[in-house]
A = this chain, B = another copy of it.
Amino acid sequence: MKSDSNTLTPELLQHMDAYWRAANYLAVGQIYLCDNPLLRRPLVLSDIKHMLLGHWGTTPGQNFIYTHLNRIIKKYDLDMIYISGPGHGGPAVVGNTYLEGSYSEIYPNISQDEDGLRKLFRQFSFPGGISSHASPECPGSIHEGGELGYSLSHAFGAAFDNPALIVACVVGDGEAETGPLATAWHSNKFLDPVNDGAVLPILHLNGYKISNPTILARISHKELEQLLLGYGWFPYFVEGHEPVLMHEAMASTLDLVMEKIRFIQHDARINGNNERPCWPMIVLNSPKGWTGPKMVDGLKNEGTFRSHQVPISDPATHPGHLQLLESWLQSYRPQELFDLQGRLLPELAALAPVGEQRMGANLNANGGILLRDLHLPNFRDYAVSVPIPGVGGIGDTHVLAKFLRDVIQANSLQRNFRVFGPDETISNGLGAIFEVTNRQWAASIQPNDEFLSTIGRVLEMLSEHQCEGWLEGYLLTGRHGVFNCYEAFVHIVDSMFNQHAKWLKVSSQLPWRLPIASLNYLLSSHVWRQDHNGFTHQDPGFIDHVVNKKAEVVRVYLPPDANCLLSVMDHCLRSRHYVNVIIAGKHPAPQWLDMNAAARHCAIGIGIWS
């Protein structure tokens, strides 16, 4: 194996290719094998799982990326986490954390030997085993697969207030067609290069979804480049399929990109340049199902949509399939990768970072470990006098705003609390917050703007998906926050709430994942104010939706007055591992009391709107 590389020595290139082959081998093993994990004897039908489930297509590309990120983590001494955006990259993230050792540290029964390999393979997409995506069980993950579109939002959430962190975010080109992902590219208009970390998007252009091509792979190179430049990113293209050339191209590009990120950060942090930078990103154009079987049953497989799931589907009834699978597995030359005990050869194992620099062991991906309590002022100090029930006041959220303002102030040094919203923070009565902070905004600022600055504790973008995704990423990396939203529009994130609630539920069964701060929704501007927005705004069923989840995961609060709201918010900001929904009025009582009553009816399922 030769290369006229400037970045990789021939030996390093050879080792990295072997490491990649090992990860690919583990992926095929996970999808197919229940026994004979090192192919010590010819493959027979009983080595193969009865039901073949899993997704090969995205996996070799992600293995390639992970292998190369390991190199730059070591070379540049990085603090980096990995987000797997394509839906079903499970075999890649599980396999790589196994190779680097972080998997076996958490799951000692999945040991780094032949017996562990057998269990690793068997558990994948198997009853009682693990799922086929980067689920909470997978070390290093903060991003649930399955429903697509939120990887880049989570990446930015993780990067805010994490100046040393680089979040490598693999964006699938299928995922890139979703709305939430399509707008998430604009998150770069909110990142502060001084106090936040960096996000490195790697758009994995492997060309296909389940059975369709992807849009981004079927527009011209020029259009794609314009699109990404228009989104404010500088794309570096790594394109091809020949491994040696691709290793060198990826390595040299990653070096370029890292130096550009360092330059941007240095320029902002040391030179004080506060222009919005054009951050680098990578477009990796590699075949779907790369290194998989070229042809299956007379049809092209590698580089087509047919490699999406299980390329060779029926070894049980097609003897040719069994043979093809064996040669596919052998093509990775496992005997050159693992020793007789089934351990990765030491010269390959040495390629991975060590300790907490391994992406499967990075503390940011187990945010509960890093979580620090908020400094909370005494909420009773903000109480208002309520001489008789239903007396008029300034509106409950207006009272709360002063408490939140002081929470922001009290935690300004530890920088671990943020308020998110789709341009409704003032409208929701929380304007007092802007007495002590601004909206963080990296795009241009003009004379008549208010409360905009490159530094600020409030993040506002007219995308409920972004607000939710940012906050989730922020919480999952060990911080605190509140999402304030009109009640009428929070249904937009119904399915994101589902996914986060599921993450919390599964995580709570994993002792090694420490509890994170709760996700707090503060919903105001209720549907019931028909005089103003009236039927413009949608129905109030979000709490109906939420209360479908178990009480171990969700809480819904309907505080009847401002003082109750203060105590509820204090409680929610101390709570861990819940989704808290707080419905609060911004208008002076007694109007608000009526609205709250309506909301209560809704909560118990009467469905007033319809």
When the two chains form the complex, which single residue of B219, B231, B488 contacts A147, counting CB atoms closer than 8 Å?
A: B488
Residue contact B495 to A146, C-beta cutoff 8 Å: no
A128 to chain B minimum Cβ distance, whole angstroms, is 10
**Residue picked from A443, A488, A610, most chain B C-beta under 10 Å:** A610
Residues of B within 8 A of A426 (CB): 210-211
Which residues in chain A, 247-300, are within 8 Å of chain B measured between CB atoms?
299-300
CA distance A460 to B489 in the complex (A): 26
Residue contact A550 to B610, C-beta cutoff 8 Å: yes
CA distance A305 to B304 in the complex (A): 49
Residue contact B536 to A132, C-beta cutoff 8 Å: yes
User: How many identical subunits does the complex contain?
Assistant: 2
Residues of B within 8 A of A223 (CB): 229-230, 232
A415 at the interface (CB under 8 A from B): no
Residue contact B227 to A462, C-beta cutoff 8 Å: no
Given known A125-B532, A183-B179, A232-B219, contact A304–B448 (CB-CB < 8 A): yes
CA distance A299 to B449 in the complex (A): 11
Describe A's contact surface by its main secondary structure: loop
CA distance A186 to B605 in the complex (A): 39
When the two chains form the complex, which single residue of B184, B218, B230 contacts A443, counting CB atoms closer than 8 Å?
A: B218
The segment out of A17-25, A539-547, A568-576 that lies at the interface is A539-547
A321 at the interface (CB under 8 A from B): no
The proximity string for A residues 148-177 relative to B, scoring 1 for CB distances below 8 Å and 0 otherwise, is 110000000000000000000000001101
CA distance A147 to B494 in the complex (A): 14
Residues of B within 8 A of A214 (CB): 462
Residue contact A537 to B146, C-beta cutoff 8 Å: yes
A324 at the interface (CB under 8 A from B): no
A607 at the interface (CB under 8 A from B): yes
Residues of B within 8 A of A145 (CB): 536
Nearest chain-B residue to A498 (Cβ)?
B538
Residue contact A548 to B132, C-beta cutoff 8 Å: no
Residues of B within 8 A of A545 (CB): 494, 541, 544-545
A452 at the interface (CB under 8 A from B): yes
